[in-house]
Chain A
Amino acid sequence: MGFTGKKKRKTQRRMTAAQKRKLMLLTGLVFVCALFVVGIFYSSVYRYVHKMRPGQIEENVYVQGVDMSGLTKAQAKKKLKQNWEAVQNTHLILHDGEKEASVTVKQMGIRQGDVDEAIEKAAGYAKRGGLFHRYRKIRAAKKEKVEYDVSYKIDEEQIEDLLEEKTKDFYEEAEDAGITRVGGVFQITEEKSGETIDIDAVMKELEDKLPSLLLGEETRINVSAKKDEPKVTKTDLESIEDRIGEFATETQEEDRSLLSRTAELLNGQVILTEKEISVQKILAPLLEMYEEENQEEKAETDIDCPEAFSQAASTLYMAVLDAELEVTKREPLDHEAAYTKPAMDAALDTQRDLQIKNTLDSPVYIEVFIDQNEQFVCRIYGTRTREKTTEISFESEILEEHDPETEYVADEEIDAGKMKKESDGSRMIRAKLWKIVEEEGKEVSRDEINETTYKGENQKILVGTKSDDEETVEKLEKAVESQDEKEIEETIKEINGEE
């Protein structure tokens, strides 16, 4: 019984060759099948991953809310540009109760950041790494869209200004107290408290809602008001009572119209304590108008800025010194002026300014007008602090002066033998301005205010050299070259046949 059992087990373990072949065939078949299945799977994944061409952005990839699926970089850029143009016209509605104002994204001056960078990122999505890695990313994008945002450049100051301007009718702003002098009396209007837009609150809300606004969705913001206090009160201005400074200059008929217009702009200016004014800024509308009107002529003929501007500034300069305010910026004229003494001037044009600071303890009011004697008058009103027995005066001391020299210039346009005065020239002067303080008629101090030097300009005389006779021209040119008055005059006499 035991023998039989052993034999049977041997038979079972041993596989026939046929069986082996079968097994091998089967195994091969299974392997081929597996290979086939894997191949099909790989092929499917490959096709899935490569559904988009290498240059195309994968499906469900967005840049700034815009679907970029299947687009090339160039197409994506174009689409984003079109979208941005639409977004720029999106309205932000500001409202408080029934009052509404709207601004567009364009008006707010919001600029797009680096679009190319976002497109690059979108185009690179699921384009790098192994096949299965890319497959997984594409699958993920299909489940949940992939978004890339473009950064934005925002000028908060510009937006704040715009929002304030758009909502200015929403609230009644505070009004400063005003002061006007008519008929010799100061009329003061009282200040008013008011309300203004709470810009910080609006900006905070805008920050939260900006993403949706930049997706092109009309956005509403509820604006609220905050208390607006006046900067100048009636009490501040009530101290303006006394005339503390004055200066006047003679006017010429040709300057009077422009001086009158400068007076209109300067008259009524109030300088609060520790505040500074720029005369150039106050006169800017006139200076600009002058510049525009003379732009073409100026290019051709190089006309100087009208003297009237400097006359107004010079008169104000002296009145300001008389009132003992601080002159923070002053530039002298190029030449001595007919309407004032040397060193008592201040130049004013588009390059040169006169700036004044109120260093007194109370505000001052500037009155400017042309009086019945055709004088340009500047008066400063404020609170008199110096004693009535104290007098201030100013003295212009000339330290050095030279009369203009005469310069002869040959001119081919003028007939030979004739002379023409081109310019009178001006004196070279070095002068000092002194401030003299007298108490009860006795001088107690003498301070230097400025030292001014006027370079002076030669008197220019044109000597005609227009002649067909070369010898005459030569003689005249030689005489002009000598710059000797006597020689030139003798040459001219000779040419004119005089003894």
Chain B
Amino acid sequence: MRKGILTDTAYQRFIYKKLNQKSSQFPYHVWEKCVRFPAEDNTELVSSEIMLTGVREDICVYAAARALNAVAAEGGCPFGVRVSVLVPETADEPYLERMVKSLDIVAMEQGFEVLNVCVNVQPGCRENIVHVTAYGKSCGYGKGKEEGKAADYRGKDIVIVNPIALEGSLRILEERREELEERFIPVFLDRLLEEKHRLFALDIVKLAESFQPAYIKPVTDGGVFGALWELSETSGTGYEADMKKFPIRQETVEICEHFRLNPYQMASGGCILLVMDNGEGFVRLCQEKGAEAAVAGKMKAGRNKIIVNGEESRCTDRPAEDELFRMYKGGVHDEHEN
């Protein structure tokens, strides 16, 4: 099987269709990670689950960011996270302390609570396996699956806010800093670390509310190409997107170039993909708030998923294995461009 998240086909064939006792809200697509439960006062409880693996102690932060962004994009006002971690036997108490501290700092910065942290030391486990569930209460705005399906996407702008591959390049930087410092000056690399707060895109989602986007989705595994594919599958509409317009940090470009990784297929936590009418207006607003944003293309009639690169245009490939997995193999050249 493909590394990382299951393919949509495998998910539907072996999970969705094989499960008889599933809820009416059971997600049809593998990338739908949120569920809604009725709560008091005609509100709903929105919940999202994320699983991540990583060697560094701050892997919980990356998982929490993804889960919280997903809740926000689903129309929830996130209030807390539950964290479960399987740690290797090599992890000691100071390691756990650092893990909790890193989570505590972002919880304070982003204004959510840590509802619990469950840690198990797992023999044979070589890296942390983190499971984060984020919770939020529906807060007026919420796209809802039904609304998303019914919306007419054609002709709307595709907007991307926050840099693509930020999550992937940050994780690579933190894990392989020594190697990268042989090529890049620390000041250059630190500039990327300063952008770590952009992993949390709660403010962006809130900002988008007044623009009534037809679609809003955090870009995660498989990168922006994966997210565009998911958009097309969810909406049943094609698109034409210009690769040169995707916001990307120069540090990400250099790190990806060093390891010969494709940033367009790399974990992009913090990056939000939206479809809306007044894309330019929203982009301007985001830029005024200091966020990188761009209208990257338009939704088109039909099912063609067109990616434009200069004078060339081609169809988007099916979502591939996330480039982070390739990095652990030393990086390979991506041939899809041909």
Chain A residues close to B by CB (< 8 Å): 180-187, 189, 241-242, 267-268, 369-372, 377
B190 at the interface (CB under 8 A from A): no
8 A Cβ contacts from B147-175 to A: none
A187 close to B248 (CB less than 8 A): yes
Within the assembled complex, what's the spacing in Å between the Cα atoms of A444 and B268?
51
Interface residues on B, range: 20 to 34
The answer to whether residues A183 and B310 also contact, given A268-B257, A371-B333 and a CB cut-off of 8 A, is no
B265 CB contact (under 8 Å) in A183, A186, A189, A372: A183
B128 at the interface (CB under 8 A from A): no
B336 CB contact (under 8 Å) in A184, A187, A241: A184
B263 at the interface (CB under 8 A from A): yes
A374 to chain B minimum Cβ distance, whole angstroms, is 10
A-B pairs with beta carbons under 8 A, tally: 51
A299 to chain B minimum Cβ distance, whole angstroms, is 30
B254 close to A372 (CB less than 8 A): no
0 or 1 for each of B228-246: is its CB under 8 Å from A? (1 = yes): 0000000000000001100
Instruction: List the A residue with the shortest CB-CB distance to B183.
Output: A264
B250 close to A183 (CB less than 8 A): no
Contacts of B264 in A (CB 8 A): 183, 185
List 19 A-B pairs, Cβ < 8 Å.
A180-B257, A182-B256, A182-B257, A182-B263, A183-B256, A183-B261, A183-B264, A183-B334, A184-B243, A184-B334, A184-B336, A185-B243, A186-B310, A241-B310, A242-B311, A267-B257, A268-B257, A371-B332, A371-B335
Within the assembled complex, what's the spacing in Å between the Cα atoms of A182 and B332?
11
Chain B residues close to A by CB (< 8 Å): 243-244, 248, 250, 253-254, 256-257, 260-265, 309-311, 332-338
A113 to chain B minimum Cβ distance, whole angstroms, is 42
Within the assembled complex, what's the spacing in Å between the Cα atoms of A256 and B263?
25
B256 close to A184 (CB less than 8 A): no
Instruction: List the B residue with the shortest CB-CB distance to A181.
Output: B257
The answer to whether residues A241 and B254 also contact, given A185-B243, A370-B333 and a CB cut-off of 8 A, is no
Contacts of A185 in B (CB 8 A): 243-244, 264, 309, 337
- DSSP class of B's interface residues: helix, strand, loop or mixed? loop
Instruction: List the B residue with the shortest CB-CB distance to A371.
Output: B333
Within the assembled complex, what's the spacing in Å between the Cα atoms of A377 and B335?
12
Contacts of B243 in A (CB 8 A): 183-185
The answer to whether residues A372 and B335 also contact, given A185-B244, A187-B253, A268-B257 and a CB cut-off of 8 A, is yes
Within the assembled complex, what's the spacing in Å between the Cα atoms of A241 and B337?
13
The answer to whether residues A184 and B260 also contact, given A241-B310, A372-B332 and a CB cut-off of 8 A, is no
B337 close to A180 (CB less than 8 A): no
Contacts of A184 in B (CB 8 A): 243, 262, 309, 334, 336-338
Within the assembled complex, what's the spacing in Å between the Cα atoms of A370 and B260?
10
A437 to chain B minimum Cβ distance, whole angstroms, is 23
Contacts of A369 in B (CB 8 A): 260, 333
A241 close to B261 (CB less than 8 A): no
Within the assembled complex, what's the spacing in Å between the Cα atoms of A369 and B338?
15
B250 close to A189 (CB less than 8 A): yes
A315 to chain B minimum Cβ distance, whole angstroms, is 15
A183 close to B263 (CB less than 8 A): yes
Instruction: List the B residue with the shortest CB-CB distance to A241.
Output: B310
A183 close to B335 (CB less than 8 A): no
B250 close to A187 (CB less than 8 A): yes
Within the assembled complex, what's the spacing in Å between the Cα atoms of A185 and B333?
13
Instruction: List the B residue with the shortest CB-CB distance to A267.
Output: B257
Contacts of A242 in B (CB 8 A): 311
Most buried by B among A185, A241, A377: A185
Within the assembled complex, what's the spacing in Å between the Cα atoms of A369 and B335?
11
Within the assembled complex, what's the spacing in Å between the Cα atoms of A181 and B257?
7
